[in-house]
Amino acid sequence: MGACDGRIALVTGSSRGLGKAIAQRLAAEGATVALTARTMDPDPKYDGSLAQTRDEILAGGGHAIAVQADLSSSEDRERLFAEVVESVGAPDILVNNAAVTFLRPLDGFPEKRVRLMLEMHLVGPLHLCQLAIPAMRERGRGWILNLTSVGGDLPDGPPFSEFDREAGFGIYGTAKAGLNRLTKSLAAELYDDGIAVNAAAPSDPVATPGAGTLDLAKTKTEDIALITETAFRLCTGDPATSTGLIVKTQPFLREVGWLGD
């Protein structure tokens, strides 16, 4: 018997990286996992696919379905959600992990890419929450987890670090800061409905394919098990007490006694 037996989890961006690892952990705990991303079938241009994640979960005795979707599209998000409900039922757990990231200075950031990042990091997660809330509210329980980043913290300064002056994280950090505020607001509004809404960030970069592409994990990196454990705890905690949290993996896991000093 797992902590997620009988529950349905929708995990976005689950073809690779953090989303894949979180989906596998929830499936191992008994959840039926609905996987979604843009890449359904293996492709030499990409490391990982929905079909691979689904097949690995099934081979391990878990339950999963895969639905390809472009999560930057409102119409595709609605289609995705309808297919998930028709196939396995409305989710008890929603993990908003899918993202797209471009790094460059703000004075030359293309508007098209700004809009795409805000759609993926803010508008899309809110839309999926809006689709998931009615069934969660009817059941009197639900868990929403938004994957955020330490990039959403305000830079220290002046003087500003060389990293903050040159890294080009302005739009990414703005989007993640907005996601943190959205998380808190949803948690407050849904508290009386028994729906937990939290956000979690790796304390250090995780060596995933995406981080590698952006050169974010060349020095200090974090074991992906830390984010999967954090996600599992936030997706199964008591909504009366574990909600409205914006956590970083290492301090959070030390606080709950899973990680030593």
Q: Which residues form the catalytic set?
A: 172
Distance CA 248, CA 166 (A): 24
Three-class SS of the chain: CCCCCCCEEEEECCCCHHHHHHHHHHHHCCCEEEEEECCCCCCCCCCCCHHHHHHHHHHCCCEEEEEECCCCCHHHHHHHHHHHHHHCCCCCEEEECCCCCCCCCHHHCCHHHHHHHHHHHHHHHHHHHHHHHHHHHHHCCEEEEEECCHHHCCCCCCCCCHHHHHCCCHHHHHHHHHHHHHHHHHHHHHHHHCEEEEEEECCCCECCHHHHHCCCCCCCCECHHHHHHHHHHHCCCCCCCCCCCEEEHHHHHHHCCCCCC
